[in-house]
Structure 1
Amino acid sequence: MAIASARPTVSPAARILVKEVNWLGDLVMSLPALWAVRQTFPQAHLGVLVREELASFFSLLPWVDCVLSYRLRSRSRWLGSRWELVRNIQAGTWDVAVLFPRSFESALWMYLAKVPVRIGVIADARRWLLTHPIRVDMKHPGRHQSLGWLELVQKALGCGPPSESIPVVVPRTALPDNVAKEFPAGHPFLVFAPGAAYGPAKQWPVESWRRLARSVVSRGLRCVFVGTASERDLCDAIAQDLGRSAHVVAGATTLPELAQLLVHSRGYVGNDSGATHLAGLLGVPTVALFGSTNPVRTAPLGHRCQVLYDPPDCSPCLARTCRFGDNHCLRRISPEQVLEALAKLGSL
């Protein structure tokens, strides 16, 4: 199959489908590139293809015209769920597909759906599936991950850097019901996200979280613990001695509700995780705790973010579990340092 070498000709009113990445943190870091596509093609019909569990996030982005969600099945429905997805893509009669993931499978879907223009980085032996394969070093250790996606859309579509901040619309009318019923109206609180979907190597120690939470409560603030359902036990273990000064909603909020909770808070503390990137995007005072990962690559975007990182020689290892068994890189960050960062951000 012939591969085009020149930049594609894209109509101002084209139907452009962007295959989004698969994790909340990565998705947030890809938004500057998605917003650059929107600004370059303001009359286009801009859609995103995204995993079902992330689809509700796009209710916060009114400039995205269409959200096509999917859930891939395993075992008996492995093939059927993928053919259903291909048919759904094909039914959208998209003119252009832009692939943010580097996976072979995402390119195969667009190829089988016969999208005329298929753009993505050269990776995973998929070059022949793309009409416009683009060479981008997505793993460059010295630059932020968001810049790789921006380079992709610049080279392929002529998009410049976004000329203004990314519009995000979060209702500020009230707290989510499951928090409002626990907290008196107007009582200040901080949001804590002690988990990390990638693995325990990213997690600050439980005892450090407990010390931080006790200090926050002693200052007259309350604590809301967020995360996935699988992180609820972790949150409960940290909050167990705080009584009514703490509330655990891990696994009990949608992404829009999490955003609503964040914008009502005085500030946020979390590991290198999706919730941390969301807090940074929303302009919430954010303290991000880094250890096994490199903040040069994946620090949260936003002007009110404070990154704490005190790397030993083994960091960044990018491992899911610490090979030494003690998360030494994160133990080097003290609760007192976090409190100082929160104070500098005006959260205390």
Structure 2
Amino acid sequence: MNILIIGPSWVGDMVMSQSLYKRLLEKHPNAKIDVLAPAWCKPILERMPEVRNAIEMPVGHGQFDLATRWTLGKNLRSNGYTHAYILPNSAKSALIPLFAKIPKRTGWKGEMRYGLLNDLRPDRKVFQYMVERYVALAHSKSDMLSEVSLADTPFPKLTVDLANQQACLEKFGIDTGKRLIGICPGAEFGPAKRWPENHYADVATKLIEAGNQICLFGGPKDTSVTQSIVDLIPEDLQRNCFDLAGKTSLIDAVDMLAACHTVFTNDSGLMHVAASVGANIVAIYGSSSPQYTPPLTDKVQVVNTDIECRPCFKRECPFGHLKCLKDLAPQTVLNLYQHPSQSVQPDNQ
């Protein structure tokens, strides 16, 4: 098998897609897997030993640009792909494999994909978890329901560059002799996934007082959130809090998260990264649900309120109160850190 994957565009989804690549190689050990994805994905894909090549998608997320898709598909014909797996649900995402004349094109039923896919799976909702929906594509339509479950799914595992990790720790002046705790307070999806800054600051303060160091992770868009957390920590403790938001590349964040003993995180792309590099995870859920996109690790504690209106899966709170997040007390979350060795399987939440 010579395989082209049309990859997802979100960090967490890209990490979870590694489970599909693992399953494909379990079933076809000699298969070659290339992934077509946005440029930012390349460093992540290079940390997946299952992937031969990361091919940059020249069309931006949400853009149609038929001419560019046609040209890329035509150029890919020389690679001789035998199979394509299309992970996004849009019609446009299925065009390049068609233009590349790949004989077998597999994906879930989405918007107007009849004819674009010739191995069309009818209803992705037969699987509860997103990662199951990815992995199911590696199985035949007739066998996938009996052969795919979260319990048997190979979890993502990104490789870690220890030399780069050490260089990053030295660059930011982090004491390697003291336990490092990560906090990922952002969420690209929207504010209904973000636990309040004052709650994170409360947790960070207590952890620093207990002798830990804190690293705040995020992208450039998260700098106002992370700075608010730093400002809420007592000034004499701030020297043990390192705000790395916007100061690291995504791949540096992978290596730095691997250096953390525990990571407190919203349901975000970095949550999935942290899970894939072996950190203990305390995952905080607001509008979303661990019944759909849990951290794929056996070292996880999941916490959420039982408020009636969650999960709503909205970007912003429909009622404007964000009680699903505000009413989740810092001590409740911190209590999960007291027993980091007690693992909770995501499907038991």
TM range (shorter): 0.7 to 0.9
Cα offsets for 1:250-273 (capped at 9, x unmatched): 123233321211121111011000
2:302 to 307, 311, 326: 307
Tell me what 2:42 maps to: 55
Cα offsets for 1:152-210 (capped at 9, x unmatched): 22125978556866553212346354442321232221111100000111000111111
1:282 maps to 2:282: no
1:172 to 120, 142, 162: 162
1:344 maps to 2:335: no
Distance 1:34 1:300 in 2: 18
Which stretch of structure 1 is more off in the superposition, 249-258 or 325-334?
A: 249-258
1:125 maps to 2:120: no
Tell me what 1:6 maps to: none
Structure 1 letter corresponding to 2:136 = E
Tell me what 1:104 maps to: 91
Q: Per-residue deviation at 1:83?
A: 4.1
Trace 1:23-42 onto structure 2 (pairs within 5 A): 23-42=10-29
Q: Per-residue deviation at 1:286?
A: 0.3
Tell me what 1:201 maps to: 192
2:9 to 9, 17, 22: 22
Trace 1:240-251 onto structure 2 (pairs within 5 A): 240=231, 241=233, 242-251=237-246
Structure 2 letter corresponding to 1:63 = E
1:69 to 56, 80, 83: 56
Tell me what 1:298 maps to: 293
Aligned residues: 332
Q: Per-residue deviation at 1:48?
A: 1.2
Q: Per-residue deviation at 1:74?
A: 8.9
Q: What SS does the corresponding residue of 1:317 show, helix, strand or coil?
A: coil
2:316 to 281, 305, 321: 321
Distance 1:261 1:171 in 2: 10
Tell me what 1:219 maps to: 210
Report if the CA contact (8 A) 2:299-2:341 is conserved: no
**Cα distance change, pair 211–174 in 1 and its aligned pair in 2 (3 A):** same
Report if the CA contact (8 A) 1:194-1:227 is conserved: yes
Distance 2:68 2:156 in 1: 33
Q: What SS does the corresponding residue of 2:3 show, helix, strand or coil?
A: strand
Report if the CA contact (8 A) 2:7-2:87 is conserved: yes
1:257 maps to 2:252: yes
Which stretch of structure 1 is more off in the superposition, 63-72 or 200-209?
A: 63-72
2:330 to 329, 335, 339: 335
Report if the CA contact (8 A) 1:25-1:277 is conserved: yes
Distance 2:258 2:325 in 1: 27
Distance 1:163 1:150 in 2: 7
**Cα distance change, pair 156–172 in 1 and its aligned pair in 2 (3 A):** farther
Structure 1 letter corresponding to 2:6 = K
Distance 2:292 2:70 in 1: 35
Distance 2:188 2:61 in 1: 21
**Cα distance change, pair 187–85 in 1 and its aligned pair in 2 (3 A):** farther
Cα offsets for 1:31-55 (capped at 9, x unmatched): 2222101111111211111111112
Which stretch of structure 1 is more off in the superposition, 128-137 or 279-288?
A: 128-137
**Cα distance change, pair 288–77 in 1 and its aligned pair in 2 (3 A):** closer
Distance 2:306 2:209 in 1: 30
Q: Per-residue deviation at 1:134?
A: 1.6
**Cα distance change, pair 92–178 in 1 and its aligned pair in 2 (3 A):** same
Cα offsets for 1:95-143 (capped at 9, x unmatched): 11111111111111211222121111122111211121122324x5x72
Tell me what 1:10 maps to: none
Report if the CA contact (8 A) 1:286-1:306 is conserved: yes
1:184 maps to 2:175: yes
Distance 2:41 2:281 in 1: 22
Structure 1 letter corresponding to 2:22 = W
Distance 2:61 2:88 in 1: 20
Distance 2:62 2:330 in 1: 45
Distance 1:156 1:207 in 2: 48
**Cα distance change, pair 317–49 in 1 and its aligned pair in 2 (3 A):** same
Structure 1 letter corresponding to 2:114 = R
Distance 1:76 1:295 in 2: 30
Cα offsets for 1:263-307 (capped at 9, x unmatched): 211110110001111112222100000010111111111000110
What is the root-mean-square deviation in Å for CA atoms of aligned residues? 2.5
- Report % sequence identity: 26
Report if the CA contact (8 A) 1:178-1:249 is conserved: no
Tell me what 1:233 maps to: 224
Q: Per-residue deviation at 1:73?
A: 4.5
2:32 to 34, 45, 49: 45
Tell me what 1:150 maps to: 135
